[in-house]
A and B are shown apart, each in its own frame.
Chain A
Amino acid sequence: MVELIAKSPVADLLPVEAGSCRLVACAPAAITAIAPYAGAEEALSQALDSAHGLALPPAGRAAGTPGARLIWAGYRQYMLVGEIAPDAAVAAHAAVTDLSDGWVVLRLEGAGTESVLARLTPLDLDPGVFKRGHTARTELAHMMAVLTRTGEGMEIMLMRSFARWGVARIAEAMESVAAQAGLPD
Protein backbone atom coordinates (compact mmCIF):
# COMPACT_ATOMS: atom_id res chain seq x y z
CA MET A 1 0.00 0.00 0.00
CA VAL A 2 1.36 3.40 -1.01
CA GLU A 3 1.61 5.89 1.83
CA LEU A 4 0.20 9.18 0.54
CA ILE A 5 1.60 12.36 2.02
CA ALA A 6 -0.87 15.18 2.67
CA LYS A 7 0.41 18.38 1.11
CA SER A 8 -0.94 21.87 1.59
CA PRO A 9 -1.31 23.80 -1.68
CA VAL A 10 -0.41 27.10 0.01
CA ALA A 11 2.17 26.22 2.69
CA ASP A 12 5.07 27.59 0.62
CA LEU A 13 3.27 30.93 0.06
CA LEU A 14 2.46 31.66 3.70
CA PRO A 15 2.62 33.48 6.02
CA VAL A 16 2.30 36.84 4.27
CA GLU A 17 2.70 40.06 6.23
CA ALA A 18 1.94 43.57 5.05
CA GLY A 19 1.18 46.63 7.15
CA SER A 20 -0.80 45.60 10.22
CA CYS A 21 -2.21 42.42 8.66
CA ARG A 22 -0.94 38.89 8.52
CA LEU A 23 -2.26 36.01 6.43
CA VAL A 24 -1.58 32.52 7.78
CA ALA A 25 -2.64 29.01 6.87
CA CYS A 26 -4.87 27.06 9.23
CA ALA A 27 -4.44 23.34 8.89
CA PRO A 28 -7.56 21.65 10.23
CA ALA A 29 -7.22 17.88 10.33
CA ALA A 30 -10.62 17.43 8.74
CA ILE A 31 -13.35 19.33 6.91
CA THR A 32 -16.64 17.46 6.66
CA ALA A 33 -19.77 18.60 4.84
CA ILE A 34 -22.98 17.69 6.66
CA ALA A 35 -26.18 18.02 4.62
CA PRO A 36 -29.32 17.18 6.66
CA TYR A 37 -31.88 14.87 5.14
CA ALA A 38 -35.35 16.34 4.60
CA GLY A 39 -36.99 17.06 7.93
CA ALA A 40 -34.03 15.71 9.91
CA GLU A 41 -32.56 19.01 11.11
CA GLU A 42 -33.84 18.62 14.67
CA ALA A 43 -32.59 15.05 15.08
CA LEU A 44 -29.27 15.96 13.45
CA SER A 45 -28.82 18.90 15.79
CA GLN A 46 -29.43 16.63 18.79
CA ALA A 47 -27.01 13.99 17.49
CA LEU A 48 -24.29 16.61 16.95
CA ASP A 49 -24.98 18.15 20.34
CA SER A 50 -24.72 14.88 22.25
CA ALA A 51 -21.65 13.67 20.30
CA HIS A 52 -19.68 16.91 20.01
CA GLY A 53 -21.51 19.52 22.09
CA LEU A 54 -22.32 21.47 18.93
CA ALA A 55 -25.93 22.15 17.94
CA LEU A 56 -26.68 23.27 14.38
CA PRO A 57 -26.11 27.03 14.15
CA PRO A 58 -28.73 29.21 12.41
CA ALA A 59 -28.06 30.61 8.92
CA GLY A 60 -25.07 32.93 8.90
CA ARG A 61 -23.60 31.71 12.17
CA ALA A 62 -20.75 29.45 13.26
CA ALA A 63 -20.43 27.61 16.57
CA GLY A 64 -17.59 25.98 18.47
CA THR A 65 -13.87 26.51 18.92
CA PRO A 66 -10.87 26.46 16.55
CA GLY A 67 -10.46 22.74 17.25
CA ALA A 68 -14.06 21.89 16.41
CA ARG A 69 -16.08 24.45 14.55
CA LEU A 70 -19.51 23.88 13.03
CA ILE A 71 -20.13 26.42 10.27
CA TRP A 72 -23.37 27.14 8.42
CA ALA A 73 -22.15 26.73 4.84
CA GLY A 74 -25.19 27.41 2.69
CA TYR A 75 -28.70 26.21 2.08
CA ARG A 76 -29.09 22.90 3.94
CA GLN A 77 -25.35 22.48 4.38
CA TYR A 78 -22.95 22.72 7.29
CA MET A 79 -19.22 22.18 7.58
CA LEU A 80 -17.50 20.61 10.54
CA VAL A 81 -13.96 21.98 10.59
CA GLY A 82 -11.17 21.12 12.96
CA GLU A 83 -9.50 18.22 14.67
CA ILE A 84 -12.64 16.05 14.69
CA ALA A 85 -14.50 13.75 12.35
CA PRO A 86 -18.26 13.49 12.87
CA ASP A 87 -19.63 10.76 15.09
CA ALA A 88 -21.17 7.77 13.29
CA ALA A 89 -24.61 8.70 14.70
CA VAL A 90 -24.60 11.86 12.57
CA ALA A 91 -24.76 9.86 9.34
CA ALA A 92 -28.24 8.60 10.25
CA HIS A 93 -29.65 12.11 9.81
CA ALA A 94 -27.47 13.68 7.11
CA ALA A 95 -25.30 13.07 4.08
CA VAL A 96 -21.76 13.24 5.42
CA THR A 97 -18.93 13.95 2.98
CA ASP A 98 -15.23 14.28 3.71
CA LEU A 99 -14.00 17.50 2.05
CA SER A 100 -10.69 17.75 3.92
CA ASP A 101 -8.60 18.01 0.76
CA GLY A 102 -11.17 20.05 -1.14
CA TRP A 103 -10.97 23.28 0.83
CA VAL A 104 -8.16 25.40 2.21
CA VAL A 105 -8.55 27.44 5.38
CA LEU A 106 -6.69 30.74 5.73
CA ARG A 107 -6.79 33.29 8.51
CA LEU A 108 -6.37 37.02 8.06
CA GLU A 109 -5.46 38.64 11.38
CA GLY A 110 -4.44 42.04 12.65
CA ALA A 111 -5.92 45.53 12.45
CA GLY A 112 -7.61 46.60 9.24
CA THR A 113 -8.57 43.20 7.86
CA GLU A 114 -11.90 44.74 6.79
CA SER A 115 -10.09 47.23 4.53
CA VAL A 116 -8.20 44.39 2.87
CA LEU A 117 -11.28 42.27 2.31
CA ALA A 118 -13.30 45.29 1.14
CA ARG A 119 -11.16 45.18 -2.01
CA LEU A 120 -12.15 41.60 -2.70
CA THR A 121 -15.74 41.03 -1.60
CA PRO A 122 -19.02 42.99 -1.86
CA LEU A 123 -19.97 41.99 1.70
CA ASP A 124 -20.16 44.50 4.55
CA LEU A 125 -17.64 43.13 7.07
CA ASP A 126 -17.73 46.05 9.51
CA PRO A 127 -17.21 44.59 13.02
CA GLY A 128 -20.52 46.16 14.11
CA VAL A 129 -22.37 44.23 11.41
CA PHE A 130 -20.31 41.09 10.84
CA LYS A 131 -19.51 40.09 14.40
CA ARG A 132 -17.55 37.27 16.00
CA GLY A 133 -19.36 34.00 15.27
CA HIS A 134 -20.92 35.37 12.08
CA THR A 135 -20.24 33.50 8.87
CA ALA A 136 -21.12 34.15 5.25
CA ARG A 137 -20.83 32.45 1.94
CA THR A 138 -19.92 35.12 -0.54
CA GLU A 139 -17.71 36.05 -3.44
CA LEU A 140 -14.06 36.78 -2.74
CA ALA A 141 -12.06 37.92 -5.79
CA HIS A 142 -14.55 36.10 -8.03
CA MET A 143 -14.22 32.85 -6.08
CA MET A 144 -16.74 31.12 -3.84
CA ALA A 145 -15.61 31.61 -0.27
CA VAL A 146 -16.76 31.06 3.29
CA LEU A 147 -15.85 33.92 5.63
CA THR A 148 -16.09 33.47 9.41
CA ARG A 149 -15.10 36.00 12.05
CA THR A 150 -13.46 34.24 14.98
CA GLY A 151 -11.67 35.42 18.10
CA GLU A 152 -8.34 35.19 16.23
CA GLY A 153 -9.30 37.00 13.03
CA MET A 154 -11.16 36.34 9.82
CA GLU A 155 -11.16 32.74 8.66
CA ILE A 156 -11.34 32.40 4.89
CA MET A 157 -12.22 29.09 3.30
CA LEU A 158 -11.43 28.71 -0.40
CA MET A 159 -11.62 25.75 -2.72
CA ARG A 160 -8.25 24.06 -3.02
CA SER A 161 -8.02 24.48 -6.77
CA PHE A 162 -8.28 28.29 -6.41
CA ALA A 163 -6.22 28.58 -3.24
CA ARG A 164 -2.91 29.78 -4.67
CA TRP A 165 -4.63 32.39 -6.78
CA GLY A 166 -6.69 33.40 -3.75
CA VAL A 167 -3.60 33.85 -1.57
CA ALA A 168 -2.03 35.99 -4.31
CA ARG A 169 -5.14 38.22 -4.50
CA ILE A 170 -5.38 38.61 -0.71
CA ALA A 171 -1.64 39.35 -0.47
CA GLU A 172 -2.00 41.93 -3.24
CA ALA A 173 -4.87 43.63 -1.38
CA MET A 174 -2.85 43.58 1.87
CA GLU A 175 0.13 45.25 0.17
CA SER A 176 -2.14 47.80 -1.46
CA VAL A 177 -3.77 48.75 1.84
CA ALA A 178 -0.36 48.95 3.56
CA ALA A 179 1.05 51.11 0.77
CA GLN A 180 -1.91 53.47 0.94
CA ALA A 181 -1.54 53.77 4.72
CA GLY A 182 2.09 54.80 4.20
CA LEU A 183 1.27 57.73 1.91
CA PRO A 184 1.85 61.23 3.33
CA ASP A 185 -1.31 63.17 4.18
Chain B
Amino acid sequence: MRITCPLCGDRDLREFTYGGAAVYMDRPGADADLDALDAYLHLRDNPAGPTEELWSHDMGCRAWLKVRRDTVTHEILGTALAAEAKRGAG
Protein backbone atom coordinates (compact mmCIF):
# COMPACT_ATOMS: atom_id res chain seq x y z
CA MET B 1 0.00 0.00 0.00
CA ARG B 2 1.25 3.46 -0.90
CA ILE B 3 -0.10 6.80 0.28
CA THR B 4 0.29 10.02 -1.69
CA CYS B 5 1.46 12.68 0.74
CA PRO B 6 0.42 16.16 -0.46
CA LEU B 7 3.96 17.37 0.33
CA CYS B 8 6.22 14.39 -0.37
CA GLY B 9 4.37 12.56 -3.15
CA ASP B 10 3.81 8.83 -3.45
CA ARG B 11 5.38 7.08 -0.46
CA ASP B 12 5.64 3.59 0.95
CA LEU B 13 3.34 2.56 3.79
CA ARG B 14 6.29 2.01 6.15
CA GLU B 15 6.78 5.79 6.41
CA PHE B 16 3.28 6.24 7.88
CA THR B 17 1.57 5.51 11.17
CA TYR B 18 -2.17 5.01 11.45
CA GLY B 19 -3.87 7.57 13.68
CA GLY B 20 -7.47 6.40 13.88
CA ALA B 21 -10.70 7.56 12.30
CA ALA B 22 -10.89 11.15 11.05
CA VAL B 23 -13.67 11.62 13.62
CA TYR B 24 -10.84 12.72 15.94
CA MET B 25 -10.71 16.02 14.04
CA ASP B 26 -14.22 16.95 15.17
CA ARG B 27 -13.96 17.19 18.92
CA PRO B 28 -17.26 18.17 20.60
CA GLY B 29 -17.29 21.58 22.25
CA ALA B 30 -16.71 22.15 25.98
CA ASP B 31 -20.47 22.19 26.65
CA ALA B 32 -21.13 18.90 24.84
CA ASP B 33 -23.11 16.25 26.73
CA LEU B 34 -21.66 12.91 27.76
CA ASP B 35 -23.35 11.04 24.92
CA ALA B 36 -21.58 13.23 22.36
CA LEU B 37 -18.22 12.72 24.09
CA ASP B 38 -18.85 8.98 24.33
CA ALA B 39 -19.59 8.86 20.60
CA TYR B 40 -16.51 10.96 19.82
CA LEU B 41 -14.21 8.72 21.83
CA HIS B 42 -15.64 5.24 21.33
CA LEU B 43 -18.31 4.84 18.66
CA ARG B 44 -16.96 4.08 15.19
CA ASP B 45 -18.48 2.93 11.96
CA ASN B 46 -16.85 -0.14 10.49
CA PRO B 47 -17.50 0.31 6.78
CA ALA B 48 -16.63 -2.14 4.03
CA GLY B 49 -15.71 0.59 1.57
CA PRO B 50 -14.48 4.17 1.65
CA THR B 51 -13.65 5.59 5.07
CA GLU B 52 -11.86 8.70 6.33
CA GLU B 53 -8.78 8.20 8.49
CA LEU B 54 -5.86 10.07 9.96
CA TRP B 55 -2.33 9.01 9.07
CA SER B 56 0.88 10.54 10.35
CA HIS B 57 3.74 10.77 7.86
CA ASP B 58 6.16 10.46 10.72
CA MET B 59 9.10 9.01 8.80
CA GLY B 60 8.66 11.73 6.18
CA CYS B 61 7.47 15.31 6.50
CA ARG B 62 5.76 14.52 9.83
CA ALA B 63 2.46 16.11 8.81
CA TRP B 64 -0.89 14.60 9.80
CA LEU B 65 -2.89 13.59 6.77
CA LYS B 66 -6.59 13.05 6.29
CA VAL B 67 -6.81 10.02 4.03
CA ARG B 68 -9.84 8.55 2.28
CA ARG B 69 -9.22 4.81 1.91
CA ASP B 70 -11.28 1.90 0.68
CA THR B 71 -11.11 -0.76 3.41
CA VAL B 72 -11.94 -3.52 0.90
CA THR B 73 -9.31 -2.77 -1.75
CA HIS B 74 -6.89 -0.54 0.23
CA GLU B 75 -7.19 1.95 -2.62
CA ILE B 76 -6.27 5.47 -1.51
CA LEU B 77 -9.05 7.73 -2.82
CA GLY B 78 -7.74 11.06 -1.60
CA THR B 79 -5.29 12.71 0.77
CA ALA B 80 -5.02 16.17 2.30
CA LEU B 81 -3.05 17.84 5.05
CA ALA B 82 -5.21 17.47 8.15
CA ALA B 83 -4.51 21.09 9.15
CA GLU B 84 -5.79 22.37 5.81
CA ALA B 85 -8.78 20.01 5.78
CA LYS B 86 -9.69 21.31 9.23
CA ARG B 87 -9.35 24.96 8.16
CA GLY B 88 -11.41 24.28 5.05
CA ALA B 89 -14.18 22.66 7.13
CA GLY B 90 -14.18 25.36 9.79
Chain A contact residues, CB within 8 Å of chain B: 59-60, 74-75, 77, 122-123, 136-139, 144
Contact = CB atoms under 8 A, between A and B. Distances in A.
Contact of A136 (B8, B62, B63): B8
Contacts of B7: 59-60, 75
A28 B40 CA distance: 48
Interface of B: 7-9, 11-12, 14-15, 57, 59-63, 81
- The secondary structure that dominates the B interface is loop
A137 B8 contact: yes
A33 B7 CA distance: 18
Given A59-B7, A59-B8, A60-B9, A75 B14 contact: no
B90 to A, nearest CB: 15
B63 to A, nearest CB: 4
B79 to A, nearest CB: 13
A77 B62 CA distance: 10
Given A60-B7, A74-B62, 12 more contacts: A59-B8, A75-B61, A75-B62, A122-B14, A122-B15, A123-B11, A136-B8, A136-B60, A137-B60, A137-B61, A138-B8, A139-B60
Contacts of A122: 11-12, 14-15
Contacts of A123: 11-12
A138 B62 CA distance: 10
B15 A138 contact: yes
A136 to B, nearest CB: 7
Contact of A137 (B12, B14, B62): B62
A59 B11 contact: no
